[in-house]
Homo-oligomer: A and B are copies of this chain.
Amino acid sequence: ALREELAAFFQPKLLAGKRVLLTAGPTAEPIDPVRVITNRSSGKTGYALARAAAEAGAHVTLVSGPTALTAPRGVRRVGVQTARQMHEAVLAVAPLADVFIAVAAVADWRVVNASTQKIKKQGGNASGLPTLSFEANPDILADVAALPDGPWCVGFAAETENLAEHAEAKRRSKGIDLLVGNLAQDVMDADTTALQLFDAQGVHPMPAADKLTAARRLVAEIAARLPPRGPLTA
C-alpha cells in the first residue's frame, strides 16, 4: 500500500484539476429477481483507468456496474445495476466533466417482460422454457458525445474479430474523439491488455502491458490530446 502510494505520488499530474467521469464493469439486466443478462467483464480495465486518472491529479467519478472490485483511493464510486441506471447516473454529471471515458460493457438490450418473481423451472410456457422479449438500451456514449459543450469522449470497443474495422466505424458513428480497441478474447478477466488507439489521424497500437501500466499510458495519451481550455463563449 505504501509502495502504491509512492508510485501514485510520483505519477506526472497530467490531468491536474480535470474532472474525469468513467464507466466500468458490466451492467446486469434482470430476467427475474435472480437471473440476469450480463457481459463477461471483470471491471479491471475501468478501475485501473480510474486509478491512473486519480494518480494523474484528476477528480474522478466512476459509475460502476456490479463487480467484486473496490474503488481506488480518492475515486468517487457510484454503483448501478442496469444500463438505464448507468445512463441516468452518467448523464446527471456528464455536462460538468472535462473527460468522459466509457469503459463499461453495457448491455445493448434489456428484457421487456422481466418477471418480478423468480420464474419457476416448470413455469413460462408449456415447455417450461421462458420466452424473452428485448428492447434496446440507451447508448450512453453517443448521448454524452452529443451534449453541447460536453466532455472530451473516449470509447472502448471489445471485438472478437475485425477490430480495426468495427472500432473505426464505432468512433465515427458515435462522434467520439478517441476510441480504444481491444480483442475481447484477450482481455476478459485477464490482467494484461494490448490496446489500439483510433483517432482522426488513424490507428496507434500500444504495447501489451499489465492493466495499470496500460491505463497510465492511456491517461498520458488522453492528456496529450485534450484541447486547451479556451475562454467561455456565449
**A residues within 8 Å of B by Cβ?**
28, 31, 33-42, 67-69, 105, 107-109, 117-118, 121, 128-130, 132, 134-136, 158-161, 184-185, 188
CB of B40 within 8 A of CB of A37, answer: no
CB of B117 within 8 A of CB of A161, answer: yes
Pick the residue among B37, B109, B134, B184 that contacts A36 (CB under 8 A): B37
CB of A129 within 8 A of CB of B118, answer: no
CB of B132 within 8 A of CB of A136, answer: no
4 tightest CB-CB pairs across the interface, nearest first?
A68-B68, A129-B134, A118-B160, A33-B160
Q: List 11 A-B contacts (CB under 8 A).
A: A28-B40, A34-B39, A34-B188, A35-B38, A35-B39, A67-B68, A68-B68, A109-B129, A118-B161, A129-B135, A130-B134
Measured in the bound complex, the distance between the Cα atoms of B125 and A135 in whole Å is 12
CB of B184 within 8 A of CB of A118, answer: yes
Measured in the bound complex, the distance between the Cα atoms of B219 and A60 in whole Å is 45
Chain B residues contacting A128 (CB-CB under 8 Å) are 136
A32 CB, nearest partner CB in chain B, Å: 8
Pick the residue among B35, B41, B118, B121 that contacts A37 (CB under 8 A): B35
Given contact pairs A35-B38, A121-B136, a sample of 5 additional A-B residue pairs in the complex whose CB atoms are under 8 Å apart: A36-B38, A37-B38, A38-B38, A117-B161, A129-B134
CB of A33 within 8 A of CB of B185, answer: yes
A112 CB, nearest partner CB in chain B, Å: 9
Chain B residues contacting A121 (CB-CB under 8 Å) are 108, 136
Given contacts A117-B160, A129-B109, A160-B117, contact A37 B31 (CB under 8 A): yes
A39 CB, nearest partner CB in chain B, Å: 5
Chain B residues contacting A69 (CB-CB under 8 Å) are 68
